Amino acid sequence: MVITFENVSFKYIEKRLLDDVSFSITDSDKIGVVGVNGTGKTTMLKLMIGEEKPISGKILKSGGMVINYLQQNPEFPLQTSILDIVNSYGTKEHPVEEYEAKSILTKLGFTDFSMGVDYLSGGQKKRLALACVLVSYCDILILDEPTNHLDNAMILWLEKYLMRFKKGLIMVTHDRYFLQRVCNKMMEIDFGKVYIYDANYEKFLELKAERLEQSKKEQQKLKQILKQESEWMHRGVEARRTKSKSRIERFLKLSEIQFHETKEMAFSSKESYLGKTIIEIQNGSKGYPNKELFHNFSFSLMRNDVIGIVGDNGAGKTTLFKILMKEENLDTGELILGETLKIGYFSQTPDWIDPELRVIDYIKEEQSLIETLDGMISAKDLLERFLFDSNLQYTKVKMLSGGEKRRLQLVRVLMKNPNVLLLDEPTNDLDIYTIEILEDYIEAFKGPVLVVSHDRYFLDKICNQLLVYQNQEIHPYLCSFSEFLEKEQKEKVGETSIKKEKPKGNKFPASLRNEMSSLETKIKDLEEKLSKINQELTEITTDYVKLMELNQSKEKLEEELDSSILRLFEIEEIKQQYN
């Protein structure tokens, strides 16, 4: 199954997102799509599924191809249960079994299968949509920011699921661990061009650096030629009479070349005074009528703290920020805020911005001149540092992509020169490049930072400690987020082992012994059948109907083999406990 772009161009209003691009992808590829916000990553996905049409060129897809698409903001028919929604994604050829639907919903945090769609939050709708596209059949799975609104356990589960996924996968995500572990190819969209790298994320960074270096050399060479030709064209009247027509045409063609230089995005806040007391909570408790969030929590924020706040969805992480911002109160205990405190709060839900407002006017609403370590700069210069060029600054907010709006929100938070940062899911919808700039800003920031995030790479890179919500309590950890997850995983495995342990005198049950023997015979038989099919596939070259039948049989056998091997491992593990 193949998707091919042939000389495809696409323009949104006056902004050219794709410029004469050609490439092919197959159902054996696992591709991560990357690029700065606003370059057209989501548009690329919509072109693949046919929701958008190119202004020129062709998009060709193999006949009968089934594509499942997870969009950023899914919507569902109202007054329908979540179980009915998932079941509706089945077809006559590939029905969704009820046990499969319930299993996938449970993995994604749903326990009440009769819950109506009407009562779901935006994040829950995203998780429901993810359940639908994962459980139903497809040849290629397309995911737009699949890890948004997932907690840590769900992200780890999804990562393992996609690593085992045997069909084509194309996804836009800012989760760099995801890209590293799941993808075998990277697609970069840059200045309207598409670059495919046969590499995971780490290798892609090396190859991209090489491409940019080569591009820089080529642009310098072209600029030098253009300069020489320009001097030749502007010589006196006498020399102009002897100019060759072909050379004039060459100059005109060179003059049309647009040079794209990657701009550096950077910003440094001016340091402001912080007193001895910054933020303290003494024996604090908070809860709602049906749920306690935390109790007896004491905490003192220090000048050099960069603290990651983690926990399951709904644990109360955002509520803690609202308490620090005095938008909500503690039920018991005391909150003490320093007199010199100047909080910069980057909220999880973007601030409402008048869609008819121009980008530069949104920043000027706050202030026209901004004080930085480099001195006073204008709102225009500040926006350029965050990759809002002159054209984009005078664009209405409604024309920005979701990621560009988040970047604009970030500009407005940082320009106030805060001395404490509260960041609630700051990496959601931001491109990787902007996240890296934010990481650099935090590392250079002269004050404490509290950050709520599920982005493992981000937390590992910036945090020097954690506050973890566990069983209605908040516990401090002096380790990286990955180290915490590893420790938590080992503890779970330990608990499972204890549960499985049997008295030493007990014998291994005959039922399991018989099942084990049966599975060993079955696995051998399935492997022989697969070997025979693989041999037939190498011999058939023109009978496409037969090829399709053989491939379908092969897929079913592989699935059956995988589940049989998995069950055999489980029984062997139980047997070891008896031994």
pLDDT at site 562: 72
pLDDT one-digit tens code per residue, 63-75: 999 999 998 888 8
pLDDT category of residue 179 using cuts at 50, 70 and 90: very high
Top-confidence residue, 466 or 369: 466
What is the distance between the alpha carbons of residues 349 and 339, in angstroms, rounded to a whole number?
Answer: 28
pLDDT digits over 404-416, tens only? 888 888 888 888 8
Strand partners, 60: 4
What confidence score (pLDDT) does residue 310 get?
Answer: 92
Please write the tens of the pLDDT for every residue from 206-264.
888 888 887 777 666 666 666 665 665 566 545 555 556 665 666 566 555 554 555 55
Q: How confident is the model over 489-506, as a mean pLDDT?
A: 56
Order of strands across the sheet that contains 473-477:
343-346, 420-424, 449-452, 306-310, 465-470, 473-477
pLDDT of amino acid 563: 77
6 pLDDT higher than 50: yes
Contact 348, 425 (CB under 8 A): yes
Angstrom distance (rounded) from CA 111 to CA 100: 14
pLDDT at 321: 94
Task: Work out the pLDDT band at 267, boundaries 50, 70, 90.
Answer: low
Q: Is it the case that residue 512 has pLDDT exceeding 70?
A: yes
Q: How many CB atoms lie within 10 A of CB 572?
A: 12
One-letter amino acid identity for 256?
E
Residue 300: both structure tokens together: 């003192």
* Per-residue model confidence (pLDDT) at position 209: 84
Nearest to 73 by CA among 14, 10, 144: 144
**Rounded Cα–Cα distance for residues 202 and 197 (Å):** 11
Q: What percent of the chain has a predicted confidence (pLDDT) above 90?
A: 37
Structure tokens at 277: 């007391």
What's the token pair of residue 141?
């799975």
Q: Which one is predicted more confidently, 361 or 494? A: 361
In degrees, rounded to 5, the angle at the alpha carbon of residue 252 between the alpha carbons of residues 249 and 253 is 85
In this prediction, residue 351 carries a pLDDT of 67
- In whole angstroms, give the CA distance from residue 578 to residue 567: 17
Instruction: Give the pLDDT mean for 176-204.
Output: 92
Amino acid at position 200, single letter: N
> What is the average pLDDT value for the chain, to the nearest integer?
84
- Between CA 187 and CA 50 the distance in angstroms is 19
Q: Quick one: pLDDT at residue 259?
A: 46
Can you tell me which residue has the tokens 């800003």? 441
Q: What is the pLDDT of residues 17-42, one digit of tens each?
A: 999 999 999 999 999 999 888 888 99
Q: Bridge partners of 30?
A: 169
pTM: 0.70
How is residue 303 annotated by DSSP? T
pLDDT of residue 52: 94
Pick from 221, 219, 199, 220: nearest CA to 208: 199
Please give the structure tokens belonging to residue 375. 């001195």
pLDDT on residue 100: 86
Distance CA 213, CA 221 (A): 13
Q: What percent of the chain has pLDDT over 70?
A: 85
Q: How far is CA 569 from CA 515, 516, 573, 574, in A?
A: 12, 9, 6, 9
Residues 6+ away with beta carbon under 8 Å from 499: none
Confidence of residue 498 (pLDDT cuts 50, 70, 90): very low
Q: Residues near 375 by Cβ (< 8 Å), separated by ≥ 6? A: none
Under a CB-based contact definition with an 8 Å cutoff, are residues 59 and 5 in contact?
yes
- pLDDT attached to residue 500: 47
pLDDT score for 491: 76
3-state DSSP assignment of residue 366: coil
- Give one DSSP letter per residue of 510-537, joined into a string: HHHHHHHHHHHHHHHHHHHHHHHHHHHH
Least confident of 140-154, 437-451, 522-536, 537-551: 537-551
Q: In whole angstroms, what separates CA 393 from the centre of its chain? A: 26
Predicted confidence band of residue 331 (pLDDT cuts 50, 70, 90): very high
User: What is the pLDDT confidence band of residue 503, given thresholds at 50, 70 and 90?
Assistant: very low
Dist. CA 552–CA 575, nearest whole Å: 35
Mean pLDDT score, 557-563: 78
Q: pLDDT at position 234, please?
A: 62
Q: Which residue, 342, 367, 362, 361, is CA-closest to 350?
A: 362
Whether the pLDDT of residue 343 is over 50: the answer is: yes
Task: Determine the average pLDDT of the residues in 440-451.
Answer: 88
- CB contact set of 276 (below 8 Å; sequence gap of 6+): 338
Which amino acid type is present at position 65? M
Q: In this structure, what are the phi and psi dihedrals at residue 467, rounded to the nearest 5 degrees? A: -120, 120
Instruction: State the pLDDT at residue 402.
Output: 79
Q: In angstroms, rounded to a whole number, what is the distance separating the alpha carbons of residues 125 and 149?
A: 9
SS3 content of the chain, % helix, strand, coil (to 5): 45, 20, 35
Q: Are 363 and 379 in contact (CB under 8 A)?
A: yes
290-304, 528-542, 565-579: the lowest-pLDDT one? 565-579
Instruction: Decide if 17 contacts 40 (C-beta within 8 A).
Output: yes
From CA 68, how far away is CA 139, in angstroms rounded?
8
In tens, the pLDDT along 414-427 reads 888 888 999 999 98
pLDDT-derived band of residue 501, with 50, 70 and 90 as boundaries?
very low
Spatial distance between the Cα atoms of 125 and 120, rounded to a whole number of angstroms: 6
CB 174 within 8 A of CB 438: no
The larger pLDDT score, comparing residue 428 to residue 286, is at: 286
What does the chain come to in residues? 579
